[in-house]
Amino acid sequence: MNPSLAAARRLRMQGISLVEVMVALTIGLILTLGMVGLMGGNAQNLRITESLSESQENARMAFELIARDVRQARDTSCGPLGNSSVRKIDPADATPDWWEEWWPLRGLAGDEETGAASFGNAIAERVANTQALQLQETEDVALINTFPSTTTVQLKDNTPGFAQNTIIVICDMDNASLHQVTAVAGTTLTIDPAISISDPDNPQFQAARYYAATWYIGNNGRADEGGRSLYRARLDANGNVIQEEILPGVVDMEIRYHTRGEASNDFVEAADLLDPNNATTTKNNWDQINAIELTLVTESTQRNVASPDADADAGLVSQADRRLRRTLTHIIALRNTH
């Protein structure tokens, strides 16, 4: 036998040495750990990107929805009217509920109660020490043809679809009043309370559906998502107050107010407009507001998104469960000013 062939056969029979196996295992382990680390880093980056996008989108939607109500506030369908020019739904009621009197723009400080949502820990209840914003306006207008009596209104048409229990505003250019529809027969509405005709020669000429809403921070009952959401309490078509969760992850809301005639950067707190000794003065102060500065704080609904070394910046990370946090401010001008 050829000696070289025999040597080659013996080498092949020897296989792989232990050292070669260890080297191969080490290289494989390094490659595997590298791949796992890369995949883990990509997954974490994806969570951060998703959380930032979620916070940004929630803030954008919140600003858009609240701004829509702010811009329309004070509109009676006949024009903007102040608190003293609109009669409440029950003139004899000394303590009307939040929607029963015309207070179209009202900010509530963190310790100020509102009938729209009480403070508490239950779902949809308002979070303590958070501000709220009350807004009122009208929509769905119908022209009035005549007043058969002080408790009946004949419309030119009932295109808005006013039904029993609908709350409406009846107005002219100088006055308005809140009423509840108690019966509908074609284009004729029976209303309560009775209308007080402002001028027999130029009576109120429009009726519009009344819209009242209060925006606030409420408990959503989902602790794993942070537990707070942006809520809206509003008056529905049947005259009932309903509380709706609008956007999760909106955890705080702060509002300042600009008074007509003040410097453009001069905004005040709701407490600055309050006269504890004179409710009329307080309402008149709110009539002077022509813009608001709205600040929203949003947090990601996913927890443990931020890395431990991000704790130094408490403004961007929730310390409790490491959620990403954003604070954004917009200024919104009212369209309807006096």
Which band of pLDDT confidence, cut at 50, 70 and 90, is reported for residue 55? confident
111-143 per-position pLDDT tens digit: 999 999 999 999 999 999 999 999 999 999 999
Which band of pLDDT confidence, cut at 50, 70 and 90, is reported for residue 283? confident
| DSSP-derived pairing of the beta strands 176-185 and 86-87 | parallel
Say what the pLDDT of residue 38 is.
Answer: 57
Residue 61 pLDDT greater than 70, yes or no: yes
284-325 per-position pLDDT tens digit: 889 999 999 999 999 888 776 666 655 545 556 666 677 788
| Between 283 and 318, residue with greater pLDDT | 283
69-90 per-position pLDDT tens digit: 999 999 888 888 777 778 888 8
Residue 20 pLDDT greater than 80, yes or no: no
DSSP-derived letter for residue 125 is P
Say what the pLDDT of residue 107 is.
Answer: 96
42-53 per-position pLDDT tens digit: 555 666 667 677
172-194 per-position pLDDT tens digit: 888 899 999 999 999 999 999 99
91-117 per-position pLDDT tens digit: 888 889 999 999 999 999 999 999 999
